[in-house]
Amino acid sequence: MSALDRRQGRGRLSSIDTLPEEAEEDVVWALEQLRDRKLPQSIIREEFNARLIAKDIEPISKSAFNRYAVRKAIQFRKMDEVRRISSELVETLGTDAPDDVTVLVAEMIKVSMFKILEDKELDPKAIMELSRALQSTVSAQRGSEEYRKQLEKRVAQQLEEAADRAEVKMREAGLPADRIAQLRRDFLGVKS
Average pLDDT, the chain: 78
Give the pLDDT score at 147.
Answer: 72
3-state secondary structure of 192: coil
**CB-based contact 184:192 (threshold 8 Å):** yes
pLDDT digits (tens, 9 = 90+) for 38-63: 999 999 999 999 999 999 999 999 99
Phi-psi region of 123 (alpha: psi -120 to 50; beta: other; left: phi over 0): beta
Q: Could you tell me which residue, 158 or 100, shows the higher pLDDT? A: 158
Strand residue runs (E) in the chain: none
pLDDT digits (tens, 9 = 90+) for 130-157: 778 777 777 776 776 777 777 778 887 8
pLDDT digits (tens, 9 = 90+) for 158-184: 877 877 888 888 888 888 888 888 877
**CB-based contact 51:29 (threshold 8 Å):** yes
3-state secondary structure of 17: coil
**CB-based contact 176:189 (threshold 8 Å):** no
**CB-based contact 99:145 (threshold 8 Å):** yes
Q: Where are the domains of the chain?
A: 13-93
